[in-house]
Amino acid sequence: MAMKTYFSKPKPEERTEPVCCPVCGQSKTRPHWQLDGYAFARCIGCSHIYQNPRPRPTDLAKRYDEDYKQYEVENAENFFNLMRLGLADLGFDEIEASLPADRRFIDIGCATGVLVRHMADRAWESVGVEPCEGSADYGRRQRGADIRTGILETAAFPDAHFDLIHSSHVIEHIPEPGAFVDEIRRVLKPGGWCVTVTPSVAGLQARLLGKHWRSAIADHVHLFSPPGLQRLFADRGLQPVRLKTWGGIAKGLAPSPIKTVVDRLAKRCGFGDVMALLVRG
C-alpha cells in the first residue's frame, strides 16, 4: 500500500462545524470516505470532495507545529525541484520574460522559503507568507527570505500588488478556499498570473486507491478535481489559462517501465495525481 503524505492527527479536543461547498455553495453532502477520526463528503451539487463537517479553522491552524516544520525542512529541496518543474510546464519562462523589471512575486504557504529566495535571486521582489512559525523563522534566518508569518488573508497586502502569485499544496488545507481566492484576486494585478498546485481527486491514483490515496489525509479539508478548481477561480473573476497534471502511479505500485508509461499517459490525458492550474487576473 502506498504511503500517505505526512499529516498531523486530529486532536481529541478539536471540534467540527458544518460548512458549505466552496465551489457551488450547496450545503448538502453524501458520505464519501470514512477514515480514522475524519471523513470526506461529496457535494450533491457539484461533486466537490471535502470535509463536512470540518474542523474549526482555529483548531486546524494549531496543527502546523514544530513537527510540521521538521517535515518542511527535511523535504525543502525535493519540494523546490517539483515546484520548478511545475512552473516550467505552465510556461513560467514566457511569463517572466513578458513582465517589467519591477515584478512582484508571492509564494503563499512558502514553508521555509526556498522558492521565495530563488525568485529574489532572479531579481523579483519576492515575499512569502507561512502560518507555521517555525518554518517561517527558519526561512528568514537560514535563507534570508522575506517571509511574513501568517496567512494571505491577514497579511494585508495592497490591492493589485503582485504580478505572479504561487501556492503549492496549500489550497487543500484552507478552511474557506472561496475567501482565499477572493483575496488572491484582490492582491493580483489586472492581467497578473496565479499558479495553484494541489492533489487531483480525479487522478488515477485517487480512483485506484480510494480512501487509501496518499492525499486523503486529515489536514486536507478539500480535495479538488480539475473542473472544481477551475470553477472556483473562474467564478471569482480569474480566468483559467492552462491546467497540467503529473504523476500516474505511486512509486512501488508498479514495475518501473510500466510506471513510466502510465506517468506519460496520465500527463497527456489529465489524470495525473497532482494538478497545477494557471489563471489570469
Whole-angstrom CA distances from 137 to 116, 141, 180 are 13, 6, 23
Which of 177, 192 has the CB closer to Zn ion? 177
By the rule CB under 5 A, 279 interacts with Zn ion: no
Spatial contact of 146 and 116, defined as CB atoms under 8 Å apart:
yes
Which residue, chain included where needed, has cell 481566492?
Answer: 181
Among 32, 42, 48, 222, binds Zn ion (CB under 5 A): 48
Instruction: Kindly report the backbone phi and psi dihedral angles of residue 225, in degrees, each rounded to the nearest multiple of 5, phi listed first.
Output: -105, 160
Among 21, 127, 152, 250, binds Zn ion (CB under 5 A): 21
By the rule CB under 5 A, 23 interacts with Zn ion: yes
| Number of neighbours of residue 171 by Cβ within 10 angstroms | 26
Count how many residues are written for the chain: 281
Structure-derived torsion over alpha carbons of residues 138, 149, 74, 104, reported in degrees to the nearest 10: -90
Which of 226, 281 has the CB closer to Zn ion? 226
By the rule CB under 5 A, 26 interacts with Zn ion: yes
By the rule CB under 5 A, 232 interacts with Zn ion: no
Which of 148, 222 has the CB closer to Zn ion? 222
Among 43, 120, 174, 201, binds Zn ion (CB under 5 A): 43
Which residue, chain included where needed, has cell 531579481?
Answer: 123
In the bound complex, what is the minimum distance in angstroms from residue 241's beta carbon to Zn ion?
23
In the bound complex, what is the minimum distance in angstroms from residue 146's beta carbon to Zn ion?
37
The DSSP line for 9-22 is PPPTT--EE----T
By the rule CB under 5 A, 46 interacts with Zn ion: yes
Which of 177, 247 has the CB closer to Zn ion? 177
| Number of neighbours of residue 184 by Cβ within 10 angstroms | 25
Contact stretch for Zn ion (CB under 5 A) within 17-25, 61-69, 118-126, 194-202: 17-25
Residues lying near Zn ion in the complex (CB under 5 A) are found at 21, 23-24, 26, 43, 45-46, 48
